[in-house]
Amino acid sequence: AKQGVEADGVEFYSEDMNQGMQERMRIESGLRQALGNGQLTLHYQPKFAIADGRLIGAEALVRWTHPQRGLIPPAEFIPLAEATGLVVQLGEWVLEAACAQAQAWKLAGVQPIRVAVNVSAREFTPALPARVADTLQRYGLEPAWLELEITESTLMHNIDRVIGIMDRITAQGVTLSLDDFGTGYSSLSYLKRFPIDTLKIDRSFTTGIPNDANDCAIASTIISIAQQLKHKVIAEGVETPEQLGFLQRSGCDEVQGYLFSKPLPAEEFERALRERSWAQ
């Protein structure tokens, strides 16, 4: 009987794996189709200067509305898109959509804001700077209105090549920020060589403020690293006035989080802009 249970267990396990693989293949082909059929959209989350509450930009975050499964969060499909390489096409779609939106806002006369686009390590190739320049030009956008958020995983291989790509992006006037800072493994000795505008304190550290002494220490340390290296620093995932207070006292420049706004569909974001819902 015991053997039977084990055999069942093994069978169940492999069936499970099989289902996992099938599920991934379904998501992958679904995502491939989603790139062309309007199931992807961008939501926009505002970023603010702590000193005066001024709106300084918005992060574009991709959303996938699946006809049967509803909203699938990026955490479920971005890693898969990265593993399969599909993230390159996804990234092209995101840059295109963000620039189209920025142009629409510009033409509609709404206050111009810098839009930040997340870029995966696999998209960070020597072809990226020209693609960025071409896209900006096609939409008639000033480079200063685009920011690219990259993660530490982008910086892990072939540093000189990465710096070359970064330089060709920032030379255009597009800014770079280092997302999820402190969660990956980046070398501080390289950090000073990167032409980066802003460090983003990861939400996992912000969450522990003000009660977790370690998270507070890490956040303060990231802020002083940024200050020493003459970078700006933004905290993501700010949800409470206590977190905001701590960050303000610690010298953080900018904030982003549910305390101010969740990521919003473009129409809602535009309405908030027009109604000046956010303190200027």
- What lies within 8 Å, CB to CB, of 147 at 6+ separation is 57, 114, 115, 116, 117, 174, 175, 176, 177, 197, 198
CB 105 within 8 A of CB 135: no
Give the phi and the psi of residue 79 in degrees, each rounded to 5.
Answer: -60, -40
- Interaction mask 215-244, ligand C2E, x per CB under 6 A: ---------------------xxxx-----
Give all strands (DSSP E) within the chain, no chain letters.
40-49, 55-66, 70-72, 114-119, 146-151, 175-181, 198-201, 232-235, 254-255, 264-265
Of residues 35 and 110, the one with the C-beta less far from ligand C2E: 35
**Least distance to ligand C2E from the beta carbon of 193, Å?**
23
Of residues 98 and 273, the one with the C-beta less far from ligand C2E: 98
**Helix (H/G/I), strand (E/B), else coil: 70:** strand
Residue 210, preceding bond cis, omega within 30 degrees? yes
Residues in 3-22 that interact with ligand C2E by CB under 6 A? none
Pick one of 17, 75, 188, 213: the residue that binds ligand C2E (CB under 6 A).
Answer: 75
Name the site residues for Mg ion (rule: CB under 5 A).
118, 149, 179-180, 202-203, 236
CA distance 152 to 124: 12
Pick from Mg ion, ligand C2E, none: which does 210 bind, CB < 5 to 8 A by kind?
Answer: none
**Helix (H/G/I), strand (E/B), else coil: 14:** helix
Q: Is 94 in the site for ligand C2E (CB under 6 A)?
A: yes
CA distance 191 to 221: 14
Pick from ligand C2E, Mg ion, none: which does 182 bind, CB < 5 to 8 A by kind?
Answer: none
- Interaction mask 240-279, ligand C2E, x per CB under 6 A: -----------------xx----x----------------
Q: Which stretch binds ligand C2E (CB under 6 A): 16-24, 67-75, 183-191, 209-217?
A: 67-75
# chain residues binding ligand C2E, by CB under 6 A? 24
Of residues 30 and 177, the one with the C-beta less far from Mg ion: 177
CB 48 within 8 A of CB 278: yes
Residues in 115-154 that interact with ligand C2E by CB under 6 A? 118-120, 149
Of residues 61 and 222, the one with the C-beta less far from ligand C2E: 61
CA distance 209 to 216: 6
**Least distance to Mg ion from the beta carbon of 150, Å?**
9
Pick one of 78, 113, 128, 219: the residue that binds ligand C2E (CB under 6 A).
Answer: 78
Pick one of 31, 61, 115, 128: the residue that binds ligand C2E (CB under 6 A).
Answer: 61
CA distance 232 to 226: 6
Which one-letter DSSP state was computed for residue 280?
-
Q: Which of 99, 62, 58, 100 is nearest to 81 (CA)?
A: 62
Binding site for ligand C2E (CB under 6 A): 45, 61-62, 73-75, 78, 87, 91, 94, 118-120, 149, 179-180, 203, 236-239, 257-258, 263
